[in-house]
Amino acid sequence: MALHKGRYTSRLATCPADVVHAQMLRASCFGLDVDRDVDAYDARCVHVLIEDRVTGRLVCTFRMQELTGPQLPASYAAQYYELSALETFEGRMIELGRFCIAPDQRDPDILRVAWAAMTAYVDEHDVQLLFGCSSFAGTETKTYLDAFAMLKARHLAPKRWLPRVKAPDVFRFAARLRRKPDLKKAMAHMPPLLRTYLLMGGWVSDHAVVDRQMNTLHVFTGVEIGAIPAARKRLLRALA
């Protein structure tokens, strides 16, 4: 699944050393006080590495876990969200997680290569739903009120798939916010990965989980592959 764009290449991890490098980049991106970000889900996942072909440096990584509806309780997201509604979803699912780009990297081609790699994997494995936890930096909600108001107004999950509250500490933005979003401020504070999900017709949970261990607020995010706009699909496949 090697892909190239500009100076970047994507590939799957093929050995334990590759996974270690991914874990080290994650720890750096997430500001952890350890050398590596490690959890039990790493062993269940396929790890994608985006590397700079000129320097050989790892600049982006993420992991994917393939699941079906009955397997959802084994997902990372199921620790934080009650997902029984989605267990009836027919078709293969991919949980995308631990997505991060090296903090000093700003080249948009990195994100394009990452999405191309995801697209190629989704097509090859006939995946029907892509999901994960989209993270806002920090645990204070004030900065993101317009972004959450926009999610409420335009991007809530269909009722038939809506994740329910499970985590003990959540921000119920759909129930609490009554403001009309300032769209410019909303998009300025929307995480880049979530922004891309939304452009593909993605939807989110009606609440954000306050994750103090990772120092983030995150929303469950889903993208039904069949609902991605045709023009967006053509663009993604052209990249892949």
161-203 pLDDT tens trace: 999 999 999 999 999 999 999 999 999 999 988 998 999 999 9
Asked if residues 91 and 226 have their Cβ atoms less than 8 Å apart, the reply is: no
Is residue 240 predicted with pLDDT exceeding 90?
A: no
pLDDT at 25 over 70: yes
* Residue 119 within any structural domain of the chain: yes
pLDDT digits over 61-105, tens only?
999 999 999 999 999 999 999 999 999 999 999 999 999 999 999
pLDDT tier at 235 (50, 70, 90 boundaries)?
confident
228: in domain: yes
**Mean pLDDT calculated for residue range 1-23:** 91
| Domain contains 156 | yes
**Exposure string (b/e) for 100-123, b if CB count within 10 Å is 16 or more?**
bbbeeeeeebbbbbbbbbbbbbbe
Angle at 110 between CA 109 and CA 116, to 5 degrees: 85
pLDDT of residue 1: 63
DSSP annotation of 236:
H
Domain assignment of residue 136, yes or no: yes
Asked if residue 137 lies in contact with residue 106, where contact means CB atoms within 8 angstroms, the answer is no
Sequence length of the chain is 240
pLDDT value of residue 3: 79
In a domain, 157, yes or no: yes
Domain region containing 151: 63-239
Statement: residue 234 has pLDDT above 90: no
Q: Do the domain assignments include residue 40? A: no
The predicted structure's pLDDT at residue 83: 97
| Residue with token string 């920090």 | 138
Q: CA-to-CA distance for 17 and 92, rounded, in angstroms? A: 29
44 occurs within a structural domain: no
Q: For the chain, how many structural domains are there in total?
A: 1
**In terms of DSSP bridges, do strands 216-224 and 203-204 run parallel, antiparallel, or are they unpaired?**
antiparallel
pLDDT of residue 32: 87
Q: Decide if 197 is inside a domain.
A: yes
**Structure pTM?**
0.92
